[in-house]
């Protein structure tokens, strides 16, 4: 599957959001439950997030150009960042609605019908979330993963709300409805913070995962010889694309062709070990003292 195909999953998310908005709003209108209202409000956030995901996935799929020589993959982080922010806004809105109802509880109406409608919406969200999560992880798309986690949060939100509303109907304790809504808001805040954190880490060019770094090190260990060494390893991820840079130190008496052949093989092995990666290598002489001035991530000052 190539990157442009990911946009169809954003369309799937948009369709699911529209369907769940209709169902959950109906459930709230029937029952008057502030818990179900909070659930419906989150579905509006799902819709905005899905539209944002569609836009950013479309941009991320564009090939590199003169103004964006590393591609457009980082556009995905804007989508997940916006969605994380919208989740937090939704949580605040739920809290603002639930607190007055907690102070002044109100009875619910036609609970059974409302719960059935809300449960149907949750089934839709669960199915779409599973699809998006699988595709997002396989394609390393933070946009689809964020959208999937948001939908899963919505599912758990709905489950909590359904339990709360059912408990109100069973016990007659109307104050349970806003309490459940506040618990839902707290859970949404946690998810929103996690999504925002991943977006910030991506925009800050955080290194690849420990699993990827182990795969890289295994390749380098395979090529390490008495007089072939490596240093200044840098890694980062830009959307679904991963970048690996390192210096390769070889004997000074080697020909350029000999060194070039080694670098070609190393780059090929790294791309195999870490798929969808761009590998940049720099050839240096292991015998030249200047080669060791940049053993770290930044070249040392000239002396």
> The CATH number of the domain where 155 resides is what?
1.20.1510.10
Q: Mean pLDDT throughout 132-142?
A: 83
- Amino acid 125: pLDDT: 86
| Position with higher pLDDT, 30 vs 278 | 278
- Amino acid 246: pLDDT: 94
- Amino acid 164: pLDDT: 73
Q: Mean pLDDT throughout 136-141?
A: 80
For residues 146 and 84, give the distance between their C-alpha atoms in angstroms, rounded to a whole number: 8
In a domain, 216, yes or no: yes
Answer whether 93's CB lies under 8 Å from 192's CB.
no
Q: Is the per-residue pLDDT at 297 higher than 70?
A: no
For residues 147 and 144, give the distance between their C-alpha atoms in angstroms, rounded to a whole number: 5
How does residue 265 score in pLDDT terms, banded at 50, 70 and 90? very high
For residues 37 and 97, give the distance between their C-alpha atoms in angstroms, rounded to a whole number: 9
In a domain, 299, yes or no: no
Are 176 and 221 in the same domain?
no
Question: b/e for 49-85, b at 16 or more Cβ within 10 A?
Answer: bbbbbbbbbbbbbeeeeeeeeebbbbbbbbbbbbbbb
- Residue 184: enclosing H or E segment and its boundaries? helix 176-203
Paired with 277 in beta bridges are 242
- Residue 98: enclosing H or E segment and its boundaries? helix 75-103
Q: Which of 11-20, 101-110, 174-183, 275-284 has the lowest mean pLDDT?
A: 101-110
In a domain, 300, yes or no: no
In a domain, 185, yes or no: yes
Are 217 and 284 in the same domain?
yes
Number of domains the chain contains: 2
**Which structural domain range is residue 248 located in?**
210-294
Are 31 and 147 in the same domain?
yes
Are 163 and 263 in the same domain?
no
* Sign, CA torsion 191/194/200/203: negative
Are 149 and 277 in the same domain?
no
Answer whether 178's CB lies under 8 Å from 108's CB.
no
Q: Choose one of 203, 237, 263: the last residue of a domain.
A: 203
> Full-prediction pTM beyond 0.75?
no
- Amino acid 242: pLDDT: 86
Q: Choose one of 154, 170, 203: the last residue of a domain.
A: 203
Are 198 and 238 in the same domain?
no
Are 218 and 190 in the same domain?
no
Q: What is the largest CA-CA distance in the chain?
A: 87
What is the residue-averaged pLDDT of the chain? Answer: 80
Between the two ends of the chain, the Cα-to-Cα distance in Å is 51
- Amino acid 35: pLDDT: 63
Paired with 281 in beta bridges are 246
In a domain, 52, yes or no: yes
Are 52 and 69 in the same domain?
yes
Are 157 and 33 in the same domain?
yes
Q: Is the per-residue pLDDT at 14 higher than 80?
A: yes
Q: Is the per-residue pLDDT at 303 higher than 50?
A: no
Q: How far is CA 57 from CA 38, 61, 62, 129, 252, in A?
A: 28, 6, 9, 17, 46
Are 163 and 221 in the same domain?
no
CATH of the domain at 249: 3.30.70.1350
Q: What is the pLDDT of residues 68-113, one digit of tens each?
A: 877 777 777 777 787 778 778 777 777 776 777 677 766 655 556 7
Are 135 and 175 in the same domain?
yes
Q: Name the token pair of 56.
A: 């950013």
Q: Is the per-residue pLDDT at 240 higher than 90?
A: no
In a domain, 88, yes or no: yes
Q: What is the pLDDT of residues 118-135, one digit of tens each?
A: 788 888 989 998 998 888
């Amino acid at each position: 599957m190539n990157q442009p195909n990911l946009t169809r999953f954003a369309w799937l998310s948009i369709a699911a959001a529209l369907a769940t908005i209709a169902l959950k709003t109906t459930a709230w209108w029937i029952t008057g439950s502030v818990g179900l209202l909070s659930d419906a409000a989150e579905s509006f956030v799902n819709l905005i997030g899905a539209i944002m995901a569609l836009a950013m996935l479309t941009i991320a799929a564009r090939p590199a150009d003169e103004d964006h020589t590393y591609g457009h993959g980082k556009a995905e982080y804007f989508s997940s960042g916006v969605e994380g922010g919208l989740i937090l806004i939704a949580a605040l809105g739920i809290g603002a609605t639930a607190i007055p109802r907690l102070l002044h509880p109100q009875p619910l109406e036609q609970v059974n019908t409302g719960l059935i409608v809300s449960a149907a919406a949750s089934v839709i969200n669960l199915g779409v979330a599973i699809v998006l999560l699988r595709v997002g992880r396989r394609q390393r798309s933070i946009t689809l993963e964020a959208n999937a986690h948001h939908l899963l949060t919505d599912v758990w939100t709905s489950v909590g709300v359904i339990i709360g509303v059912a408990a109100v109907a069973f016990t007659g304790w109307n104050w349970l409805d806003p309490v459940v809504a506040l618990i839902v808001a707290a859970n949404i805040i946690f998810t929103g913070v996690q999504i925002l954190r991943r977006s910030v880490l991506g925009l800050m060019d955080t290194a690849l995962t420990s699993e990827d770094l182990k795969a890289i090190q295994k390749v380098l260990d395979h090529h390490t010889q008495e007089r072939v060494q490596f240093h200044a390893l840098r890694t980062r991820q830009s959307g679904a694309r991963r970048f690996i840079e390192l210096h390769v130190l070889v004997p000074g008496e080697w020909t350029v062709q000999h060194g070039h052949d080694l670098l070609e093989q190393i780059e090929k092995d790294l791309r195999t070990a870490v798929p969808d990666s761009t590998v940049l290598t720099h050839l240096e002489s292991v015998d030249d003292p200047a080669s060791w001035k940049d053993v770290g991530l930044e070249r040392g000052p000239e002396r």
